[in-house]
Amino acid sequence: MTLNHKIKPIDFVFILTAVICLAPFISSPIALILGFTLASFGLVPTQFNLAALTKKLLSYSIIGLGFGINLNEAIEASRQGLGLIVSSIFFTLFLGWLATHFLKLDKKTGHLIAAGTAICGGSAIAAVSPAINARDDQTSLALATVFVLNAAALFLFPAIGHLLEMSQHAFGTWAAIAIHDTSSVVGAAGSYGDEALKTATTLKLARALWIIPVAFGSALMFKGDSKKISIPYFIVFYCLAILVAHFVPQFHSTYMLIFDASKRLLVVCLFLIGSGITVSKLRNAGHKPLLLGIVLWLAIGAASLTYIELFL
């Protein structure tokens, strides 16, 4: 946006709605719907790089959440969930490889969808895509598929959790394993409760660390370029925030303010994500990529839920 750019009614409506999403009565699913509604009516400003803005705000908000995480609880949650994280990643990638062959889907598109389902949605796709030299259309199809399923997860997961009367810890674990993007994980878990949010965030970011080895492995598999792998540095700062809150406890009240503000900022992120979802993007996803995404999502969702219900 240039300095001489005049504020248009579209800009005003969009910015006002984003500000309203900071209010406590706006939940993550509602924010997503508001964003999608504005996009559907052409009320999203085109001069803003919303994708870049969303990525930055999401990183800042996740780092802020670290100030509300107890170090000992984070270590215990990671220790308990490590086996589930590792097994779910390898299970999803293997099933994705099988299903891609069965559906006769483009191999790179299928692998990107599997990687996004196995680790952390759009972030994993963005990291793996350059490593395997994926084309823009292959990356877009994978991202569109993940967008659709992430939107559905915000509504379905809390409803199923309440229906099954899942505990906060159990739901947070399930959300971290079975939902793709970090934004949707924290959105769904945050609407379920603070304990669910803390558990989900900790396990989700532990899962996100697998972006690096999976991207390297993908580069070898497809004979791509391992030097193009992007590393999610915000995870490091999230861990630093946990350590600061633990070793400098005298500012606890300030940390809680940051934690609460970060939760509201996450809702705004989901509004921005919703504003990037259009009917044309949903159409472009096509039935085969979407079918693969649904199969993988149902498989990992059902398998992890069964494990959690039996053993947690």
Share of the chain above pLDDT 70, in %: 94
Per-residue tokens: 42 = 């052409």
Instruction: With beta carbons less than 8 A apart as the criterion, state whether 134 and 108 touch.
Output: yes
Per-residue tokens: 26 = 């706006």
Of 224, 226, 227, 231, which is closest to residue 210 (Cα–Cα)?
A: 231
Dist. CA 105–CA 28, nearest whole Å: 33
Q: Find the helix packing angle between 182-192 and 50-65, rounded to 10°.
A: 50
Instruction: With beta carbons less than 8 A apart as the criterion, state whether 129 and 112 touch.
Output: yes
Segment (H or E) for 47 = none
Count of CB atoms within 10 A of residue 173's CB? 29
Q: What is the pLDDT along the chain (312 residues), one digit of tens a residue?
A: 444 456 677 788 999 999 999 999 998 889 988 998 998 888 888 887 888 888 889 889 889 999 998 999 888 888 888 899 999 999 999 999 999 999 999 999 999 999 999 998 888 888 888 889 888 778 878 888 888 898 899 999 999 999 999 999 999 999 999 999 888 999 999 999 999 999 999 999 989 889 888 988 998 888 876 666 666 788 889 889 999 999 999 999 999 999 999 999 988 988 998 888 777 766 766 689 999 999 999 999 999 999 999 987
